Structure 1
Amino acid sequence: MNTLMVNSINQHMDEIIERWIKRMKEEKGERFFHFMPEHLVEKTSREFAELMTTNIQEKATIDADKINDFTEKIVRFGWAIKFVNKAIDNFSNVVFELLEEHEIITNENLRGFITLFSNWIDPLRESIIDAYSSEWERTVSLQKIALQELSASLIPVVEKISVMPLVGTIDTERAKLIMENLLEGVVSQRAEVVLLDITGVPVVDTMVAHHIIQAADAVRLVGAKCMLVGIRPEIAQTIVALGINLQEFTTKSTLQRGMQAALAMTNRAIVEVEAQ
């Protein structure tokens, strides 16, 4: 039974892949099969079909390296775990239906083939999803590290004035990194005024405000002044509604206005010079 099934799948692999691609294109919210180049869809589909048949032979083992390589690729392509699960289901259903059409699966041997499919698909599904989850966690972790490194730098703009643009959600871990970079930067750059730009922070709640206040207090302890800039109208409303006290801050709506105020604090100003 197993040999007959393997030979039939290998014989009709092109038809199986064609039917599988068609079903994947019909999935709700599907983007990969519609927007990727045809040659890439074809290549990825064949790799998936090859992966799905790695353990179909009797006593065959699952190729962990092949699974890891494929899951790394589909995570990069943006496949969701729900989509991966649906891909496995669709492939299994296409194979089952094709074997029925060619009368390899009949009423007489149906129970045996159901057991065979279960022994084939279930462990493969578990291995693929486990590998996918691990790869996804690794990718998210790397992205988080990259975001932390990119969005917590103190940038010297002019002498005595530095800017720290904050991007994304600020949690406790990021707040600690911001504090460390801020203090080290203030000392090494000999900054007198620091502008914390929250234009790229989507939400300012009590916890985020607490972290910002802590950072400002730390800056004052090393002899510099801290200014909060990039306060959008919706952020201002949230701050007022939450009763967050920012009275000890100098606040400005934009980075440009913040720079003008910072220059004034350091006894400088932007002066227009007429062309000679």
Structure 2
Amino acid sequence: MQPSIVEMIYTQKQDIISDWLSEINNVMPSGLAKKIPNEASDETNKKFVELIIESLELTEEAATEKLNEFAQHLIYLGWPLSYFTQGMQAFRRVLLETMSSMESISSKKVFETFYEIETWVDSIINQIADEYSGSWESTIHLQRMALKELSAPLIPVFEKVSVMPLVGTIDTERAKLIMENVLDGIIEHRSQVVLIDITGVPVVDTMVAHHLIQTAEAIRLVGAECILVGIRPEIAQTIVNLGIDLSKFRTKSSLRRGVETGLELTQRKIIKIENDDERIDSR
């Protein structure tokens, strides 16, 4: 940027900051203004405009680093991208108004420097937008990793008996992962009985039931038997009201009952010994 423009900005620094703070308060997103106390908002606004002006003295690399650090902090606190874009647009308006009002700058000079200011402000907007984009991509990646973790692997609890606990909402993508994990687990653990525990699934609608039926059918095709456990009363009522047919595979109200049934299907049962401890008896 031309030294004359930088000098003008620093000469009028206090007026520019004052005018920008008034502008940014007018364009602050209403939802954000309600969530953030006035003192915190004013302090952040002042830091933002001072950082913008100070970046003129820094190298491009140092300015980028400082702006990214500031943006990352506000992203973490939940500030929207619109705060930065509208704030930078307001800053551009203030600069041009300040420059236009100075008698020492000719109209021709204003026109010549307009492009430089536009380029500078747009570069900052693009930089912050890129930072937000990177943050969103990182968040999406972490969510996908969490999704895979929630799609728990098949857990062998006894010989030939395995459990897959499900937690959270089941959508099409997650249902695909569940089926892949359960089929791979059956082969790996040589499971004959698979318990699918839906205690942690908040809602079982037609789509979720369809995915469960598909999974149960796939389990049957690889030579194992599926038992659906953890059906709460409200889930049972929903299944009945929706007319969903789960008669193709066994259902049990709790994981314990499911384990007992699984042991019976593999010719074993839980018995009590004299000291009241329980053990597995194989016949």
TM-score (norm 2): 0.66
Could you say which residue in structure 1 is the equivalent of 2:281?
none
Q: In the alignment, what sits opposite 2:81?
A: 84
**How many Å separate the matches in 1 of 2:197 and 2:11?**
63
Indicate whether 1:271 and 2:237 are aligned: no
| Structure 1 CA distance for aligned equivalents of residues 43 and 257 of structure 2 | 54
* Corresponding residue for residue 180 of structure 2: 180
Residue 159 of structure 2 is aligned to residue 164 of structure 1: no
Task: Tell me whether 1:132 sits opposite 2:132 in the alignment.
Answer: yes
Give the drift of 1:256.
3.6
Cα 1:20–1:274, aligned 2, differ >3 Å: closer, same or farther? farther
**Shift in alpha-carbon separation, 1:166–1:96, aligned structure 2, 3 A:** same
Structure 2 spans left out of the alignment, 5+ residues: 278-283
Secondary structure of the residue that 1:243 maps to in structure 2? Answer: coil
When residues 143 and 97 of structure 1 are mapped into structure 2, their CA distance, relative to the original with a 3 A threshold, is same
Q: Is the 8 A contact 2:160 2:189 kept in 1?
A: yes
Question: Which one-letter code corresponds to 2:185 in the other structure?
Answer: G
Partner residue, 1:241: 241
How far, CA to CA, are the matches of 1:148 and 1:235 in structure 2?
24
Map of 2:101 onto structure 1 = 106
8 Å contact kept, 1:194–1:225? yes
Bigger drift between 242-251 and 83-92 goes to 83-92
Q: Report the equivalent of 2:31.
A: 28
Does residue 213 of structure 1 match 2:232?
Answer: no
Aligned length: 263
CA contact (8 A) 1:88 1:125 kept: yes
Structure 1 residues 85 and 170: CA distance shift in structure 2, 3 A: same
Please give the alpha-carbon distance, in whole angstroms, between the structure 1 residues aligned to 2:140 and 2:12.
Answer: 37
What's the secondary structure of 2:270's corresponding residue? Answer: coil
Aligned CA distance change for structure 1 residues 239 and 16 (closer, same or farther; 3 Å): farther
Between the two proteins, what is the percent identity of the paired residues? 44
Do the aligned partners of 1:71 and 1:128 also contact (CA within 8 Å) in 2? Answer: yes
Aligned 1:217-232 pairs, distance under 5 A? 217-232=217-232
CA distance in 1, matches of 2:235, 2:200: 11
Aligned partner of residue 184 in structure 2, secondary structure: helix
Which letter does structure 1 place at the counterpart of 2:167? V
Which residue in the other structure is 1:250 paired with? 250
8 Å CA contact 1:194, 1:227 repeated in 2: yes
Q: Tell me which moved more, 187-196 or 111-120.
A: 111-120
TM-score, normalised to structure 1, is 0.68
Distance 1:196 1:23, change over 3 A: farther
Alignment of 1:3 onto 2:2: no
| Match of residue 259 from structure 1 | 259
Separation (CA, whole Å) in 1 of partners of 2:265 and 2:12: 76
Correspondence for 2:198: 198
Aligned equivalents of 1:254, 1:16: Cα separation in 2: 65
Alpha-carbon RMSD across the aligned residues, in angstroms, is 4.7
- Measured in 2, the distance between the counterparts of 1:20 and 1:151 equals 48
The amino acid of 1:269's aligned partner reads I
Contact 2:229 2:251 (C-alpha < 8 Å) held by counterparts: yes
SS at match of 1:86: helix
User: 2:197 touches 2:228 (CA, 8 Å); kept in 1?
Assistant: yes
Deviation at 1:187, TM superposition (A): 2.3
> Residues 5, 200 of structure 1: CA spacing in aligned structure 2 closer, same or farther, 3 A cutoff?
farther
**1:91-132, Cα deviation, whole Å (9 max, x unpaired):** 6647977998xx7773867x9599576554344223322431
Give the Cα separation in 2 of the matches to 1:152 and 1:30: 41
Amino acid at match of 1:202: P
